[in-house]
Amino acid sequence: MTTYVKPLPAVTEQSRPFWEATRERRFILPRCDHCGAYHTYFEPWCSNCGKEGVHWEQLSGRGRIWANCRFHKQYFPGFEEPYNVVMVQLEEGPRLMSNIVDTAHGTLDEMPIGMEVEIVFEDVTDEVTLVKFKPISLSQEV
């Protein structure tokens, strides 16, 4: 594996289940035991209802691009400009920020708002596997 030069997420006790699952090619998020809201942060309380108590649940890993942008400035070390950033609205409801892969150039035209995407996993270190998304081709949907 080549040396990964971009910033890495902090693996904490709260986030460890997520990162262990991604290494196993599973996509899980915390879900509130009381109101059922999913969370893309890793705390034991719910930002929707304010109560404590969450459990981890597997999600489909499919969604649609909700917002997109293309950065032409390096805000963090290791990123080569230009690079894309998207907010994906998952089928189950929560939104997750990530990148789109498997496009020719990563232009905004190649990742329009509303485009259907699915999760892919990128091993970047022995401990960290990142969540990214790729377009769902029309041939797969038929």
Residue 116, in any domain of the structure: yes
Residue 39, in any domain of the structure: yes
Residue 6, in any domain of the structure: no
pLDDT per residue as tens, the chain (142 positions): 568 899 999 999 999 999 999 999 999 999 999 999 999 989 999 989 999 999 999 999 999 999 999 999 988 888 888 889 999 999 999 999 999 999 887 778 889 999 999 999 999 999 999 999 999 975 444 4
Residue 3, in any domain of the structure: no
**Number of domains the chain is built from:** 1
Domain with 124 in it:
16-141
Question: Distance between CA 135 and CA 64 in Å, rounded?
Answer: 9
Residue 11, in any domain of the structure: no
Q: Which is nearest to 99 in space by CA: 137, 67, 142, 58?
A: 67
Residue 24, in any domain of the structure: yes
**pTM surpassing 0.85?**
yes
Residue 72, in any domain of the structure: yes
Residue 9, in any domain of the structure: no
CATH of the domain at 31: 2.40.50
DSSP 108: G
